[in-house]
Amino acid sequence: SAVCAWQNNNKKGCKMDNEFKEDVLAGLRLTQKALSPKYFYDAQGSKYFDQICQLEEYYPYRTELSLLPEVARELQDYFHQQSVDSIQLVEFGAGSLHKVKPVLQELKMVKEFIAIDISGAHLQAASEELAEAFPDLPIKAAQGDFTKPIELAPSDATPMGFFPGSTIGNFDPGEALDFLRNARTTLGKDSYLLLGVDTKKDQQMLEDAYDDSSNVTARFNKNILTRINRELNGNFDLSQFEHVAIYNEELGRIEMHLRSLVDQQVTVAGETFQFKQGETIHTENSYKYHPDEFDELVTAAGWKRECLWLAPDAIFSVMLLHS
- 170 scored as a contact of ligand AVJ (CB under 6 A): yes
DSSP 57: S
In the complex with ligand AVJ, the residue whose CB is nearer, 112 or 284, is: 284
Q: What 3-state class would DSSP assign to 189?
A: coil
E strand intervals along 121-240: 139-143, 158-163, 192-198
Question: Which residues within the stretch 42-81 sit at the binding site for ligand AVJ (CB under 6 A)?
Answer: 52, 60
- 169 scored as a contact of ligand AVJ (CB under 6 A): yes
> ∠ CA 113-46-115 to the nearest 5 degrees?
10
The residue with its CB nearest to ligand AVJ is: 286
CA–CA gap between residue 186 and residue 150 (Å, rounded) = 7
Query: Which of 131-139, 159-167, 259-267, 313-321 is the region at the interface with ligand AVJ (rule: CB under 6 A)?
Result: 159-167
- 92 scored as a contact of ligand AVJ (CB under 6 A): no
- 317 scored as a contact of ligand AVJ (CB under 6 A): no
Residue 208: count other Cβ atoms within 10 Å of its Cβ. Answer: 18
In the complex with ligand AVJ, the residue whose CB is nearer, 11 or 148, is: 148
Residue 135: count other Cβ atoms within 10 Å of its Cβ. Answer: 7
- 167 scored as a contact of ligand AVJ (CB under 6 A): yes
Write the binding mask 191 to 210 for ligand AVJ: x where contact by CB under 6 A, - elsewhere: -------------------x
CA–CA gap between residue 212 and residue 215 (Å, rounded) = 5
Cβ of residue 216: shortest distance to ligand AVJ, in angstroms?
9
Cβ of residue 150: shortest distance to ligand AVJ, in angstroms?
18
Question: Which residues within the stretch 266-295 sit at the binding site for ligand AVJ (CB under 6 A)?
Answer: 284, 286
Give how far the C-alpha of residue 287 lies from the chain's centroid of Cα atoms, to the nearest Å: 12
In the complex with ligand AVJ, the residue whose CB is nearer, 38 or 181, is: 38
Tell me the site size for ligand AVJ, rule CB under 6 A: 11
CA–CA gap between residue 111 and residue 175 (Å, rounded) = 31
Query: Which of 114-122, 139-147, 160-168, 294-302 is the region at the interface with ligand AVJ (rule: CB under 6 A)?
Result: 160-168
Q: Using an 8 Å Cβ cutoff, are 44 and 181 in contact?
A: no
Question: For 10, what's the count of Cα atoms within 13 Å in the CB-facing half-sphere?
Answer: 21
